[in-house]
Amino acid sequence: MILICSAHCDDLEFAAGATVKKYLDNGLEIQAAIMSDASTIPGNENIQNELNASMKAFDIPYNTYRFETMWFHKYYQEIRDQIFKLKQEFKPDTVICPSINATHPDHKIVGEACRSIFLEQSVLHFEDVRGNHNQLINYWESITEDQLSFKLQVLGNYTSQFKRKYFDFKGIEALALSRGLQIGVKLAEGFEVGRIIK
């Protein structure tokens, strides 16, 4: 079982959408948890419906919580409690989550909670595409063109986010090409290892 804990809607797809598709193609079981639907941010009123469409495309079960975006520090213990509950409920072997080195404070808090709670599980921190300045990418997943295409397709559900400068499909493709170049394949997604248990 793989548990994906993300801070906000679209984090999973943006950072690891092709890898998630690869894991699903390989028959792995995945559950997702999104700590904030980010619906209180102006312009995000429809984002929950966009998330629903994306998760339907992946065909994975998910839970969405309503911790206030940009204020996760106020709810740190509640977020930890919720993540610990997910650990007990789903008993994952691997957790994919934001990095403790992410520049976004919400991402950092979720990453710290996951790193400290999942001590018996492998933990991979996905790349914070916009704020990965302090991340060390030291784990790569090769992906196919079809898996990258699927990632872009599900991101296309988030029409409310198209106004964001970083929501750039060509940039996403370029990063996949760059990560692939680093390991001698055409396309890849990069991660930061928190812990690997075999």
Mean pLDDT split into 10-residue runs, the chain, 198 residues: 95 96 97 88 82 96 92 94 96 97 94 97 93 89 98 95 88 96 98 95
> Which numeric CATH code is attached to 2-195?
3.40.50.10320
Q: Locate tokens 């898996």: which residue?
A: 147
Q: Which residues pair with 124 in a beta bridge?
A: 96, 193
Q: Could you tell me the CA-to-CA distances from 23 to 140, 168, 196 in Å, in that order?
A: 13, 24, 17
What is the reported pLDDT for 70?
A: 86
pTM for the whole thing? 0.93
What is the reported pLDDT for 2?
A: 98
What is the reported pLDDT for 112?
A: 96
Per-domain boundaries in the chain: 2-195
Burial 2-15 (b: 16+ CB within 10 A, else e): bbbbbbbbbbbbbb
Type of residue numbered 26: N
What is the reported pLDDT for 38?
A: 77
Read off the tokens for 154: 């599900």
